[in-house]
Amino acid sequence: MTVRAEPIAGRYELVEEINSGGMGQVWRGYDGVLDREVAVKLIRPDVAGTPEEADEFAKRFRREARVTARVQHHGVPQVYDAVLDRPHDQVYLVMEYVRGTSLRAFIQPDRPLPIDWAVAIAAQICTVLSHAHAVPVVHRDLKPDNVLVTEDGAVKLLDFGIAAILRTDVTRLTGTGGLVGTHHYMSPEQIQAAQVSPHSDLYALGCLLHELLTGRHVFAAATGFQLMYRHVKEPPPAVRQWRTDVPEELERLVLELLAKVPEQRPPDAYAVHQRLLPFLPPPGAEPPTVGPELSGMPDPTLLYRRPNAPRPAPAPAPPASTVEEPATPPVVVRVDTALRNAIRDALAESTELLEQDRYAQAAEVLENVIALAGDALGMESRQVLVLRARRAASLLFGGDYRRALPEFDALVGAYTRVGGAGNPDAVDCLRQAAYCRAELGQATAALRQFRQALDHVRDDGGDANQTALDIRRSIGLLLLSEGREAEAVAELQPLHDDLLLVYGADDEETREIADILTRLRRQQP
């Protein structure tokens, strides 16, 4: 046992180091204020080599910790605190401490799991993902090492947000041409450094379920590049090739989860859970019979014999905005002093909160005054549109894409009615709506909106201004995530040429696009 001399933030005593790996160290500890056991994760400090990188890492850490803390489900260890010591070389997440057996211990090459055990584990993961994706939070690093099964058979998903904090959720080339980030559970779009969405977690779930049923990885390869190529290009092997007692419908589900194009996978985790239900033991069923090799292991079917339902599927997202309504003139009224002061105070308070990265609170402050101002001035008055746009941006910055999307769509319509489709505010909101849709996995609609926004930006300022470059990058990465590689190259190659001219070869974004193009060329037969 190792005890750290000084408590973290004056209250978290580190008692025992229980794990150490790529993300840093994990300690068992105690919260001295609430007198409860906690897990304290020391995030690897070597990701920040310069003061600028340290500041960027600090912002990313705070954002991901806050977004992850919004996932309210018993299958996710709750985030209690996030501690960031200056100068950012000691960064801690304080979380619920969970005792359990790693899913890695359940997987043996010569011992595939009973079908109902494998399905019960996958179904519980779906339950957790349905809640996380509703935020939305994408895990980005779903693998056996990040799954625990507790003594009562409950599945816990660990390390939400850690991959995004450390940026280990995409592949990249090192200076020697080696790959960082590739592993057996990474989706094609992550391998290609394209848009990550909830569908990326579904691909990783397909890899896990295939391995639980067969005891084998979906793909194996001698090198990282070969493994990457197989995930991106080769069709996955059928489960029944290795195990004939797996039902055909279950095999079909695994193959759909492993589709190369994200939108060809099942629509969401809830839909996957529904298709797993027929293979789960019904409520009140007797415990399944297992061999001696699983004796003493937690039984993951327990929660289905004692039902544990997932979050229902969310309502379908609204379609991309098309503006056909006639222009509605804003309401003209006299603004009283109290309302004027309320608007001024809300703008000032939200500015202060945004500077502190407290996005949810900023959105709430603005929402309260929007209701008052909308009643008095009209929802499309200049003052109210400013408030609404700031609230939508607060939700976006906080990662709450599902709530931000309908507001950006509505703002596109409002600004278009006020100033026409080319109105810079309308174009900016159109672009932000596209970004929300991309994050929510609605690639087709996102591409359409990005292209509409790009047309307006090009008309106004050409092809190489910063906004146009950002939109072109988003379009290229979305095309790549959809498996439309030729179209992606057609977008990314001229983008790279323009980035070279505007920012030079050493610019981070120039290098990123060059890296993607290099990887695509290496994959050509």
Report the catalytic residues. Answer: 141
Tell me the one-letter amino acid at 398. G
Residue matched to tokens 């399944």: 288
- Helix H or strand E encompassing 38: strand 36-43
- Distance in angstroms (rounded) separating the CA atoms of residues 3 and 14: 6
- Distance in angstroms (rounded) separating the CA atoms of residues 159 and 23: 9
> What is the DSSP code string of 395-416?
HHHTT-HHHHHHHHHHHHHHHH
Asked if 113 and 160 count as a contact pair (C-beta separation under 8 A), the reply is no
Two tokens at 98?
A: 């969970």
Asked if 155 and 121 count as a contact pair (C-beta separation under 8 A), the reply is yes
Radius of gyration of the chain (CA): 25
Asked if 405 and 318 count as a contact pair (C-beta separation under 8 A), the reply is yes
- Distance in angstroms (rounded) separating the CA atoms of residues 487 and 499: 19
Tell me the one-letter amino acid at 511. R
Asked if 492 and 509 count as a contact pair (C-beta separation under 8 A), the reply is no
- Please provide residue 90's backbone torsions phi and psi, each rounded to the nearest 5 degrees: -130, 105
Dihedral Cα 425, 426, 432, 438, nearest 10 deg: -160
Alpha helices in 51-187 (DSSP H): 51-69, 115-133, 162-166
